């Protein structure tokens, strides 16, 4: 006779610790709820489980996730419970806190007994008995045999909906203890995830506002110098195209935020010219040595203007060093070769291309073919060879 294999007893304390550690790492509320419900279905072996979550914007409770056997799952967002709901009132109203729930869980078997007790002790029309009867109907609507509330600072944040166990047995005390402790951790994790999401949205809104403000800031130099009208936008477009080509031809790999930082640096690379007198910016003839010195200070002036903005920390490299030369003869620091940040090397080539092909106070614009040949000729001396290669590839394809 083959001995029957006894089912493995679940170590609920261990499962709770594992779940808690995982929940801390998840910052998306939807992912978090899916994880919790999936874990309950697989570990506790219930036919289905779900979660009702409070939606602060709509001031209502909505079924956000449901998992289990086909036909028992509730479509997300389909069922909504307002503050008049019996289940919500049972778990959220202070006057019902005295009701005796096992480990804060409302279990259908217990509910039947409570309804019977209320009707015997206080009569059929007793308000609490009626409330419990309506709560029972709502639980049956969700095919739930147990509901576990999750609170955050005494506010009902969510309700775990638990269906019948696969083996048809009742929930024992260990399981109810587990659900109660899990609900407490769930409330904290969901609140943290919601706060993280709110902060992310706020950061995105602020980032959008910051980018728009940056564009306005960049336009101030063009308002001062009519000869640079459209210059910053063109330089930015050239720079982004060059960087994308460098990534495409495999010459360099950039971090994810590089292109946004390059975009900002391109827009703001000449912002320091605000500090340069208009008499120098618009001078039709050759600049004196003193005027050249003042003009060259615009890179450092740009850094001084932008340094208070922490979001521009990486972009400042492009602003400060876009007049450095590959042979070390540039300014402000005389950096050489790979000492020059690649962002600045890209802007240097883009800036030169646009300067050569645009009208200036001291000369007319040059033909783009001639400008490209000049940049090629100065590859390895004035310009970074890898940047020049990408620029030439774009030009030969007619993309720049």
3-class DSSP string for 263-286 = HHHHHHCCHHHHHCCHHHHCCCCC
- The pLDDT value recorded for residue 150 is 86
- The pLDDT value recorded for residue 31 is 81
The pLDDT of 168-185, averaged and rounded, is: 84
- The pLDDT value recorded for residue 130 is 83
136-145, 198-207, 231-240: which is most confident: 231-240
Find all residues with CB under 8 Å of 334, minimum gap 6, and list them: 324, 328
Phi-psi region for residue 51, left (φ > 0), alpha (ψ -120 to 50) or beta? beta
Residues forming a β-bridge with 360: 363
Confidence category of residue 99, pLDDT binned at 50, 70, 90: low
In the predicted model, what is the mean pLDDT of the chain?
Answer: 83
Q: Which of 360, 281, 361, 101 is nearest to 371 (CA)?
A: 360
Phi, then psi, of 64 in degrees rounded to 5: -100, -25
Q: Compute the distance between CA of residue 161 and CA of residue 44 in angstroms, rounded to an integer.
A: 13
pTM above 0.85, yes or no: no
- The pLDDT value recorded for residue 187 is 81
For the chain, the structural domain boundaries read 12-197, 205-396
Whether the per-residue pLDDT at 199 is higher than 80: the answer is no
Q: Compute the distance between CA of residue 44 and CA of residue 22 in angstroms, rounded to an integer.
A: 18
Cis amide linkage into residue 149, ω under 30° from 0? no
Residue ranges of E strands in 163-243: none
- The pLDDT value recorded for residue 1 is 45
Q: Choose which CATH entry (3.30.450.40, 3.40.190.10, 3.30.380.10, 3.90.1640.30) describes domain 12-197.
A: 3.30.450.40
Confidence category of residue 388, pLDDT binned at 50, 70, 90: very high
Whether the per-residue pLDDT at 125 is higher than 60: the answer is no
Confidence category of residue 4, pLDDT binned at 50, 70, 90: very low
The pLDDT of 223-238, averaged and rounded, is: 78
- The pLDDT value recorded for residue 238 is 96
Question: Are domains 12-197 and 205-396 of this chain identical in fold?
Answer: no
Residue 119 CB coordination number (10 Å): 16
Which one has a higher pLDDT value, 397 or 63? 397
The pLDDT of 92-98, averaged and rounded, is: 73
**328-384 pLDDT per residue, tens:** 999 999 999 999 999 999 999 999 999 899 876 666 778 999 999 999 999 999 999
14-23, 99-108, 126-135: which is most confident: 126-135
Find all residues with CB under 8 Å of 374, minimum gap 6, and list them: 356
Q: What angle do CA 57, 62, 63 make, to 5 degrees?
A: 150
- The pLDDT value recorded for residue 265 is 94
The pLDDT of 45-65, averaged and rounded, is: 87
Q: Which of 280, 266, 283, 279 is nearest to 217 (CA)?
A: 266
- The pLDDT value recorded for residue 123 is 58
Which one has a higher pLDDT value, 324 or 36? 324
The pLDDT of 317-330, averaged and rounded, is: 97
Q: Compute the distance between CA of residue 286 and CA of residue 291 in angstroms, rounded to an integer.
A: 9
Q: Choose which CATH entry (3.30.450.190, 1.10.3210.10, 3.40.47.10, 3.40.190.80) describes domain 205-396.
A: 1.10.3210.10
The answer to whether 319 and 272 have CB atoms below 8 angstroms apart is yes
- The pLDDT value recorded for residue 298 is 92
Q: Compute the distance between CA of residue 62 and CA of residue 51 in angstroms, rounded to an integer.
A: 8
Residue ranges of E strands in the chain: 48-55, 60-68, 80-81, 106-107, 146-152, 155-162
Q: Compute the distance between CA of residue 7 and CA of residue 9 in angstroms, rounded to an integer.
A: 6
Whether the per-residue pLDDT at 227 is higher than 70: the answer is no
Phi, then psi, of 339 in degrees rounded to 5: -65, -25
Confidence category of residue 102, pLDDT binned at 50, 70, 90: low
């Amino acid at each position: 006779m083959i001995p029957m294999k006894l089912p493995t007893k679940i170590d609920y304390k261990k499962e709770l610790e594992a779940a808690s550690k995982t929940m801390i790492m998840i910052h998306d509320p939807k992912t978090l709820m899916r994880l919790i419900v999936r874990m309950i279905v697989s570990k506790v072996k219930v036919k289905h489980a779900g979660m009702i979550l409070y939606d602060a914007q709509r001031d209502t409770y909505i079924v956000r996730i449901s998992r289990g056997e086909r036909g028992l799952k509730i479509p997300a967002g389909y069922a909504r419970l307002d503050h008049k709901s019996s289940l919500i009132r049972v778990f959220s109203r202070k006057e019902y806190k005295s009701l005796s729930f096992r480990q804060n869980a409302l279990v259908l078997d217990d509910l039947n007994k409570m309804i019977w007790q209320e009707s015997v002790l206080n009569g059929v029309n007793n308000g609490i008995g009626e409330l419990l009867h309506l709560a029972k109907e709502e639980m049956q609507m969700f095919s739930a045999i147990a509901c576990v509330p999750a609170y955050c600072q005494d506010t009902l944040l969510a309700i775990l909906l638990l269906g019948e166990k696969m083996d048809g047995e009742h929930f024992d005390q260990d399981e109810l203890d587990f659900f109660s402790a899990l609900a407490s951790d769930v409330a904290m994790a969901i609140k943290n995830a919601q706060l993280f999401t709110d902060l992310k949205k706020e950061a995105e809104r602020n980032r959008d506002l910051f980018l728009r403000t940056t564009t306005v800031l960049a336009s101030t130099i063009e308002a001062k110098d009519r000869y640079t009208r459209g210059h910053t936008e063109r330089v930015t477009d050239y720079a982004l195209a060059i960087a994308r080509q460098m990534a495409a031809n495999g010459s360099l790999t950039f971090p994810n935020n590089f292109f946004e930082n390059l975009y900002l640096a391109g827009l703001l690379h000449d912002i320091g010219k605000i500090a340069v007198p208009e008499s120098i910016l618009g001078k039709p003839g050759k600049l004196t040595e003193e005027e050249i010195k003042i003009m060259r200070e615009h890179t450092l002036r740009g850094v001084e203007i932008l340094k208070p903005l922490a979001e521009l920390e990486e972009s400042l490299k492009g602003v400060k060093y876009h007049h450095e030369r590959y042979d070390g003869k540039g300014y402000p620091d005389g950096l050489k070769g790979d000492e020059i940040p690649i962002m600045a090397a890209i802007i240097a080539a883009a800036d030169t291309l646009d300067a050569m092909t645009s009208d200036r106070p001291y000369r007319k614009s040059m033909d783009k073919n001639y400008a490209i040949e000049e940049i090629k000729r100065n590859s390895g001396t004035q310009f970074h060879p890898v940047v020049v290669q990408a620029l030439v590839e774009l030009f030969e394809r007619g993309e720049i």
